[in-house]
């Protein structure tokens, strides 16, 4: 009996130490899970912003293609697209689109116009690039700062083929004299 009483006296604080160690381990595991969750949430936000910028760049290509087909206007352009519902607490978010001019890189006889002996219609391949930058700033929505905070940026370069395309439309924007060529004066 004396031995068991003596042993119990020596082990009286060990339960307290074991409980503290278990609590310390659970705290470390909880903090690690919290850090992983926070990182995963940030990855999800960044991925969403990247997807939105990518889809904005696709929109720039689509708008440029529509302008080329309807007007026909093959020049470069810039757009600021305001994201709806972001004027809360003076937070302003926009997509800034920059689309290069449609540069003709290949012309060939139209495959769809077999009876076109006079070569009035051609198949024209144009190179075009679109850059979408998602920007944000606090304050007046009418006056963005000179250097707004970029949230995401995507650049998309594509080859657009118009077929059948009238040859007189292609000369509407002369590739050699267009000031909006994007610095490609010696490309042809």
Query: Is residue 180 domain-resident?
Result: no
Query: Is residue 88 domain-resident?
Result: yes
Q: What confidence category does residue 16 fall into, taking pLDDT thresholds of 50, 70 and 90? A: confident
Q: What range does the domain containing 16 cover?
A: 2-170
Nearest of 177, 159, 40, 146 to residue 102 by alpha carbon: 159
The answer to whether residues 163 and 123 touch, using CB atoms and an 8 Å cutoff, is yes
Q: What angle do CA 157, 161, 167 make, to 5 degrees?
A: 125
**Model pLDDT for residues 150-161, shown as the tens digit of each residue:** 888 999 999 988
Query: Is residue 23 domain-resident?
Result: yes
Query: Is residue 182 domain-resident?
Result: no
Q: Number of folded domains in the chain?
A: 1
* Overall average pLDDT of the 72-93 stretch: 79
Predicted pLDDT at 37: 94
Q: What confidence category does residue 1 fall into, taking pLDDT thresholds of 50, 70 and 90? A: low
Query: Is residue 184 domain-resident?
Result: no
Residue 133: what are its φ and ψ, rounded to 5°?
-120, 125
Query: Is residue 11 domain-resident?
Result: yes
**Model pLDDT for residues 140-186, shown as the tens digit of each residue:** 777 777 777 788 899 999 998 887 777 665 444 444 445 444 444 43
Q: Kindly report the pTM of this predicted structure.
A: 0.68
Q: Which residue has the tokens 């910028």?
A: 53
Strand, helix or coil at 108?
strand
Q: How far apart are CA 165 and CA 170, in angstroms?
A: 8
- Write the CA distances from 148 to 49, 87, 134, 183, integer angstroms: 16, 16, 10, 25
Query: Is residue 54 domain-resident?
Result: yes
**Model pLDDT for residues 28-79, shown as the tens digit of each residue:** 999 999 999 999 998 998 898 889 889 989 999 999 999 988 888 889 999 9
Predicted pLDDT at 171: 43
Query: Is residue 177 domain-resident?
Result: no
**Model pLDDT for residues 104-137, shown as the tens digit of each residue:** 888 877 776 666 566 577 788 889 999 999 888 8
């Amino acid at each position: 009996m004396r031995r068991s009483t003596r042993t119990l006296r020596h082990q009286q604080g060990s339960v307290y130490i074991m409980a503290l160690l278990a609590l310390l381990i659970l705290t470390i595991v909880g903090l690690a899970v919290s850090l992983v969750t926070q990182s995963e949430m940030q990855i999800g936000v960044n991925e969403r912003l990247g997807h939105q910028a990518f889809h904005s760049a696709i929109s720039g290509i689509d708008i440029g293609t529509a302008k080329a087909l309807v007007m026909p206007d093959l020049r470069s352009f810039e757009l600021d697209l305001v994201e709806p519902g972001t004027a809360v607490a003076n937070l302003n978010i926009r997509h800034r689109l920059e689309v290069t001019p449609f540069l003709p890189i290949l012309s060939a006889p139209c495959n769809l116009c077999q009876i076109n002996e006079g070569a009035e219609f051609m198949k024209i391949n144009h190179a075009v690039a679109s850059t979408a930058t998602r920007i944000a700033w606090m304050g007046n929505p009418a006056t963005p700062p000179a250097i707004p905070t970029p949230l995401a940026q995507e650049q998309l370069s594509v080859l657009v083929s118009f077929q059948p395309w009238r040859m007189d439309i292609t000369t509407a924007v002369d590739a050699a004299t267009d000031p909006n060529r994007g610095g490609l004066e010696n490309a042809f």
